[in-house]
Amino acid sequence: MATFLYRLGRFSFRKRHVVALFWVALLALAGAGAAGAPAAGNSSFSIPGTEAQKAFDLLDERFPGASADGATARVVFKAPDGQKMTDPGNKAAVQDTVDELSGGAEVTQVTNPYQGGGVSQDGTVAYASVTYEVPGMELEESSREALKAAAEDARDSGLTVEIGGDALQAVPETGSAEIIGIGVAAVVLVITLGSLLAAGLPLLTAIVGVGIGVATITALASTLDLGSTTSILASMIGLAVGIDYALFVVSRYRAELAEGREREEAAGRAVGTAGSAVVFAGLTVVIALVGLSVVNIPMLTKMGIAAAGTVAVAVLIALTLIPAVLGYAGRRVRPAGEKSKLLGGGRAKDKADKPNMGTRWASFVVRRPLAVLLLGVVGLGAAAVPAGSLELGLPDDGSQPTSTTQRRAYDLLSEGFGPGFNGPLVVVVDAQGSDDPQAVFQQAGDEIKALDNVVNVAPAAPNKAGDTATIAVIPDAKPSSAATEDLVHDIRAAGADIKDGTGAEVLVTGATAMNIDVSQKLNDALVPYLVLVVGLAFLLLIVVFRSILVPLKAALGFLLSVLAALGAVVAVYQWGWLSGLMGVEETGPIMSMMPIFMVGVVFGLAMDYEVFLVTRIREAHVHGEKPAQAVVTGFRYSARVVTAAAVIMIAVFSGFIGSSDSMVKMIGFGLAIAVLFDAFVVRMAIVPAVLALLGAKAWWLPKWMDRALPNVDVEGESLAAHVGTADKDDEDKELVRA
User: Please, how many CA atoms are within 13 Å of residue 532, restricted to the half-sphere of its CB?
Assistant: 18
Model confidence at 726: pLDDT above 90:
no
Integer Cα distance of 511 and 710 in angstroms = 50
For residue 258, what pLDDT is reported?
Answer: 87
Pairing of strands 468-475, 590-591: unpaired
Amino acid identity at 626: K
Beta bridge partners of 393: 591
Confidence check: pLDDT of 215 > 80: yes
Could you tell me the pLDDT band of residue 407, with boundaries at 50, 70 and 90? confident
* DSSP helix/strand/coil, 566: helix
For residues 682 and 558, give the distance between their C-alpha atoms in angstroms, rounded to a whole number.
Answer: 8
Instruction: Examine the pLDDT at 327 and tell me if it is beyond 80.
Output: yes
Whether residue 730 has pLDDT greater than 50: no
Q: DSSP characters for 337-378?
A: T---GGGTTTPPPSSPPPP-HHHHHHHHHHHSHHHHHHHHHH
In sequence order, which ranges of 546-583 are alpha helices (DSSP H)? 549-569
296: left (phi over 0), alpha (psi -120 to 50) or beta: left
pLDDT higher than threshold 60 for residue 512 = yes
Give pLDDT, residue 378: 96
Separation between Cα atoms, residue 20 and residue 5, nearest integer Å: 18
* DSSP β-ladder status, 590-591 and 72-78: unpaired
Which helix (H) or strand (E) element contains residue 708? helix 703-708
Residue 660, SS3?
A: coil
DSSP class of residue 40 equals: P
Backbone φ and ψ of 212, nearest 5°: -65, -45
CA distance 524 to 234: 26
Query: Exposed, middle or buried by CB within 10 Å (0-12, 13-18, 19+), for 441?
Result: buried
Q: 634 near 620, Cβ under 8 Å?
A: yes
pLDDT tens, position by position, 513-570? 888 888 888 888 888 888 887 788 788 888 888 889 988 888 888 889 989 999 999 9
Confidence category of residue 50, pLDDT binned at 50, 70, 90: confident
Q: Which pLDDT band holds residue 720 (cuts at 50, 70, 90)?
A: low
Over residues 567-595, mean pLDDT: 82
Task: Determine the pLDDT at residue 649.
Answer: 82
Q: Is 85 within 8 Å of 150 (Cβ atoms)?
A: no
- List, for residues 596-650, the tens digit of each pLDDT value: 878 877 887 777 788 888 888 887 887 788 989 999 998 988 888 888 888 888 8
Query: What does the alpha-carbon distance between residue 618 and residue 631 come to, in Å, rounded to a whole number?
Result: 8
Residues belonging to the chain:
738
Please give the mean pLDDT across all residues of the chain.
83
Encoded amino acid at 561, one letter: S
Q: Between vectors from CA 235 to CA 674 and to CA 232, what angle results, nearest 5°?
A: 90
- List the beta bridge partners of residue 127: 76
How many percent of the chain have pLDDT more than 70?
A: 88
